[in-house]
Chain A
Amino acid sequence: MLFLRSLLLVLIFHLSACTDLLDDINPSDSDRRGDFDATTIGYHPGETAADFASFDTLNETVVMSAELVGSNAIVLYFTMWCPVCDSHMTHMRKNTIPNYPDVKFYFVDYVSGMISVARAAQLSNGYGSSNVLVDDINHTITNLYNATMGTTIVIDNTSIVQMNEDYKDGRKLQEVLDALP
């Protein structure tokens, strides 16, 4: 009993200090997404995506609004060249990209900060033929879209954010691309 009491006290102490823990200890299934519409510029699905300019690893300037001209949508996937990222990117290259020729796909390197370093990571990971954008050292794109490792963003050709969440198994991305206007 002494052991259990001690255990309980330790748990209560930690839980009271870290309220975020309760999200995992008692997960919720409630849908708490807000209502967002195109009148607002933001990163939530339904909002108008903020325009941005960046460099790719070939030192070419990429402007989001320009890339959307003549395309159905652009897809941004945020990578830190980790096992999970590689698994997602491999899956995307094999199962999604070939099926949507009118969509432009970009992997966004948000950890390298320099074109030369991002290019080296791209090549050593076997993504030499992919489009890789380099987020700057201030993480402008990452912050603009509240992104992190594995974040997958779909922006349609009217600049509306259609998806902004983890890649997971890729099904949601395909559903969103299939439902594009």
Chain B
Amino acid sequence: MSSLKTPTCDRSQALIALLMGGTFFFSTPTWAASCCGGGGAATLVLPKFFSSMYDISIGYEQYHGFWNKEGEHINDPPGSDLNQLRITPGYALRINPNWQASFILPYVWNDNQYAGLNSKTNGLGDATLGFWYENFDDIKCVYAVNSLEDLTPAAYFGASLTIPTGVSPYDDVKNSFDITGRGFYRLDANMLMDKTVFPWGLTLNLSYGIYLERDVNQEYGSFVEPYKRQLGNRFSGSIAFSYSTTLEKLDTLTYTFTYANLKEDEASINGATDTTSGFETQSVSFALAYSTMAKDWIVRMSFNHLPTNDGLGSNFPATDTFTVGVSYVIP
């Protein structure tokens, strides 16, 4: 017996696809703060059968110490209050029935207060150009599993390019507080698989990125002996569980819980490994998304948390991030 495919199920898959774009935002902790380079983001996912989408999200990230290289969590200096605000507009466009492209460009505000120093700076973050191939031709959301075919997930395969539009240590900047980007191009291969048996959903998100080696001839505005630097390869993965409810007017609410892991290998300088670099972190997040019946407006909010226990991170700041976002989807 073929599965039922109703507008509710259809809407659920569309919403979850959007949320998965959001999942990158929500659960992949950005390497942020003025100490470390700022707001990169991720790729948007345009729901199947829609032609384009405008998206904007506002994220507020608070810092709560960091893990050192050995995985020990260290508190921030007394009297410090470190925050970053990111506004990330994005646009996604369907190229053909199975291909889509997107572009996002965050703007970053750093707001750091130490006992003896206050700093407020802002600037562009790193932009991301993304492409997705949808390896399915119809909605994969089902109400019940009656055959093996009903277990077929909606699979997306993609690539993205991070463009160093942010301000990095290798720009003509005065100090580390001005930094809003990492300064490197990065190519990512991305995979997203989603299976919804309404109202439940399970989503797996994997990404592997390679930074391109670059020349450096200045640091914080001072010229140095030129050298080549390449950041380490980067892996991120997340798994998300979701539950959707249909409201009285057939609007949809979706609750999503996500666990994510992010790891970046050690960088190299002139081909030699930089043992002071590389990092790893884990995060959990909870997201709530609301979609109108027509699926044209989606509003979402999320809370992303990096647990500060020893051993749950390495060489990385611990943060909490609140995000709200709105998407306008055009049929």
Q: In the complex, which residues of chain A have a beta carbon less than 8 angstroms from the beta carbon of B176?
A: 80, 148-150
**A residues 1-32 touching B (CB-CB < 8 Å):** 2-3, 6-7, 10-11, 14, 18, 20-21, 23-25, 27-32
Is the beta-carbon distance between A83 and B317 smaller than 8 angstroms? yes
Is the beta-carbon distance between A86 and B117 smaller than 8 angstroms? no
Question: Is B36 close to A, CB under 8 A?
Answer: yes
Is the beta-carbon distance between B117 and A139 smaller than 8 angstroms? yes
Is the beta-carbon distance between A21 and B165 smaller than 8 angstroms? yes
- Point out residues on B near A: beta carbons under 8 Å: 33, 35-36, 66-69, 74-80, 91, 93, 101, 103, 105, 114-117, 123-124, 127, 129, 163-177, 181, 183-184, 214-226, 228, 269, 272-277, 279, 315-317
Q: In the assembled complex, how far is the CB of residue A71 from the closest CB belonging to chain B, in whole angstroms?
A: 25
Can you give 20 A-B contacts (C-beta < 8 A)?
A: A3-B93, A20-B167, A20-B173, A24-B166, A24-B181, A25-B164, A34-B223, A81-B77, A82-B33, A82-B317, A84-B35, A86-B315, A87-B69, A90-B276, A111-B115, A113-B114, A113-B116, A117-B77, A146-B221, A166-B224
Question: Is A120 close to B, CB under 8 A?
Answer: yes
Q: In the complex, which residues of chain B have a beta carbon less than 8 angstroms from the beta carbon of A111?
A: 77, 80, 114-117
- Point out residues on A near B: beta carbons under 8 Å: 2-3, 6-7, 10-11, 14, 18, 20-21, 23-25, 27-34, 44, 80-88, 90-91, 110-114, 117, 120-121, 124-126, 137, 139, 146, 148-151, 164-172
Q: In the complex, which residues of chain A have a beta carbon less than 8 angstroms from the beta carbon of B171?
A: 20-21, 23-24
Q: In the assembled complex, how far is the CB of residue B110 from the closest CB belonging to chain A, in whole angstroms?
A: 13
**CA distance in complex: A8, B94 (Å):** 18
Is the beta-carbon distance between B175 and A149 smaller than 8 angstroms? yes
Is the beta-carbon distance between A21 and B69 smaller than 8 angstroms? no
Is the beta-carbon distance between B219 and A114 smaller than 8 angstroms? no
Is the beta-carbon distance between A85 and B68 smaller than 8 angstroms? no
**CA distance in complex: A118, B296 (Å):** 53
Q: In the complex, which residues of chain B have a beta carbon less than 8 angstroms from the beta carbon of A125?
A: 74
Q: Which of A6, A31, A80, A83 contacts B217 (CB 8 A)?
A: A31
Q: In the assembled complex, how far is the CB of residue B80 from the closest CB belonging to chain A, in whole angstroms?
A: 8
Is the beta-carbon distance between A18 and B77 smaller than 8 angstroms? no
**CA distance in complex: A24, B186 (Å):** 12
* Chain A residue nearest in CB terms to B267: A169
Question: Contacts A18-B123, A112-B115; is A169 near B226 (CB within 8 Å)?
Answer: no
**CA distance in complex: A80, B77 (Å):** 8
Question: Contacts A87-B315, A148-B176; is A32 near B77 (CB within 8 Å)?
Answer: no
Q: Which of A82, A83, A124 contacts B75 (CB 8 A)?
A: A124
Q: In the complex, which residues of chain B have a beta carbon less than 8 angstroms from the beta carbon of A113?
A: 114-117
Q: Which of A112, A120, A166 contacts B116 (CB 8 A)?
A: A112
Is the beta-carbon distance between B275 and A169 smaller than 8 angstroms? yes
Q: Which of A90, A165, A167 contacts B68 (CB 8 A)?
A: A90
Q: Which of B78, B79, B170 contacts A23 (CB 8 A)?
A: B170
Q: In the complex, which residues of chain A have a beta carbon less than 8 angstroms from the beta carbon of B218?
A: 23, 32
Q: In the complex, which residues of chain B have a beta carbon less than 8 angstroms from the beta carbon of A146?
A: 220-222
* Chain A residue nearest in CB terms to B117: A111
